Structure 1
């Protein structure tokens, strides 16, 4: 998935440069004076889609299905030189980090007799709120009078306090005199509170009289997993114990929208 995204971004980058050079002719290439009328600060928000977690089975036959998790990013960004072709962007971004999102199925023969069919269900949990500061290199190329294509790459530092998450599945017998814990997942975030990641993406800006609207598609790839843990299926009537490890990278694709307002005329 990462390789496909990187390839698509690079192809788009090359095609845009070729097409733009043949269309746009500016007396001052790389300087866009129309951006001087906007504030350098922008409000940014949008949905993100986290990669699904991975599991590595050590022994046993049971498993569960991890799913992608939808979340959000919101905050502020600061463009140091919005009027120039090349610039640096930083900011402050708030995100809601996932802990797990999966579906599972327990066979009816592995639980108490009063269950007439397999137990199928799903569960999802978010962990803690994260706070990030990006440092991005931005390339801006004009495509027509009011539209500009942006390419971004750089790093992001995330503050993510240590924490843990737990899921337990228990079954009672028919008269509630016995309980069996048949499935458990336990995961925790790294001990270090600061984590780094690589960011790459592209987007479009549209200049208007009072506001500058931008949209960008980014991919964030963490240098370490945000959650690590283990899972266990046990205490079942027929099936043997199953054990394995659980990893959640925290990598995600984001579709972010930002707004910069025009400065008040003096």
Structure 2
């Protein structure tokens, strides 16, 4: 609407006042409807994590409930809707409620059950799962519901981690944005229902104790996963593994073998 309001001679979506159309250059070509110049071509994601694992011939499993299913499929795979070879997908229905404060547990238990079953079967080299509670219940900014959502996640993620350790899986736990950690806007004092840009945790569970990089970003997750799997990072990936050097049981850096 902003682009249309600034560029279209005829605009009736809302009262834009006495505004005359101006020359607009879009950041990228996000909608051909406007037929406007744009600064950057759309980037096509190449050699994504799922594609790299598929090309090697390994099996993988992607799982989430309805609210986050696209995030472990279409978005996770770089905007590609179809599954790669040897990529199994499972969608768990989200509860049918008006807002998720009515059922803050959502479908986390069923999602965890399915992931645990797959890990025990030992048929997938890579598993990606997205738990929706922290984000979807966080959007309500209802304190009691958010607490219940996080307590649910604590229990279900704990079950997944316990199984992963027993099944000899390495695990990366992280997020792409915050939400439920901030329920009140610190400036206005009103309920905060949106995503935050706060740094998110990244926890790595592995049989080897690693010295980790002091900081990183989402672009470093895929290289880190490949490192844990003992696979080579494709040149198209611009990030770097967060694993620097292995440490011994006393948390002392091991000497690299050559």
TM-score band by shorter chain is under 0.3
Structure holding more helix per residue: 2
**Higher RCO structure, 1 or 2 (CA under 8 Å, sep 6+):** 1
Structure holding more strand per residue: 1
Normalising by structure 2, we get a TM-score of 0.24
Which is greater in Rg? 1
